[in-house]
Chains A and B, each alone.
Chain A
Amino acid sequence: MDEATLIREAKKGDLTAFNKLVLTYQDMLYNTAYRIIGDPALADDAVQEAFISAFQKLKSYRGGSFKSWLLRIVTNTCYDEFRRQKRKPTTPLDIYTDDGEEIESPSWLKDPTLSPEKQLETYELEQAIQRCIQALPLEFRTVVVLTELQGLSYQEAAKAIKKPLGTIKSRLARARTRLQKCLQKVKELLPAKFRLEGETSS
Chain B
Amino acid sequence: MKNNISPQDLKNISAYLDGELNASSSRKMKDRLERDPNLRTALDAMRVTKNILQRTPKRPAPRNFTLSSQMVAKSPPLPRMVPALNYATAFAMILFFFSVLPPFSLGSESMAPANKEMLMESADMAMEEFAPAEEPAEEAPAEEEAMPMAEAPAMEEEVFEEAEAAPVAEGESAGLSATEETSSRAEAETEKVAETDQVAESTPFASLQSTAIPNSEEVPEPIPAPSFTRWQEILLVLILLFALGGFFFRRRAMLKWESQE
Interface residues of A (CB under 8 A from B): 15, 18-19, 22-23, 26-27, 29-31, 34-35, 40, 44, 47-48, 51-52, 55-56, 108-109, 122-123, 125-126, 129-130, 144, 147-149, 153-154, 169-170, 172-174, 176-177, 179-180, 183, 190, 194, 197-198, 200-202
Contacts and interface: CB of A to CB of B under 8 A. Distances in A.
Given A169-B20, A180-B45, A202-B41, A144 B53 contact: yes
A26 B72 contact: no
Contact of B59 (A34, A52, A55): A34
Which of under 10, 10 to 19, 20 to 34, or 35 or more describes the interface residues of B? 35 or more
A69 to B, nearest CB: 16
A55 B67 contact: yes
B53 A15 contact: no
Q: DSSP majority for the A interface? A: helix
Interface stretch (B5-13, B140-148, B159-167, B203-211): B5-13
Interface of B: 2, 7, 10-11, 13-15, 18, 20, 41, 44-69, 71-72
Contacts of A176: 14, 46, 49-50
A170 B58 CA distance: 26
B58 A31 contact: yes
A40 B62 contact: yes
A173 B42 CA distance: 11
Contacts of B53: 129, 144, 148-149, 179
A63 B67 CA distance: 22
Given A40-B62, A177-B46, 16 more contacts: A15-B67, A15-B72, A19-B66, A22-B64, A23-B64, A27-B60, A44-B62, A47-B61, A108-B59, A125-B56, A126-B59, A129-B53, A173-B14, A176-B46, A179-B53, A194-B51
A128 B63 CA distance: 25
Given A15-B69, A31-B58, A144-B53, A169 B15 contact: yes
B57 A125 contact: yes
A52 B69 CA distance: 10
Nearest to B60: A27
Contacts of A148: 50, 53-54
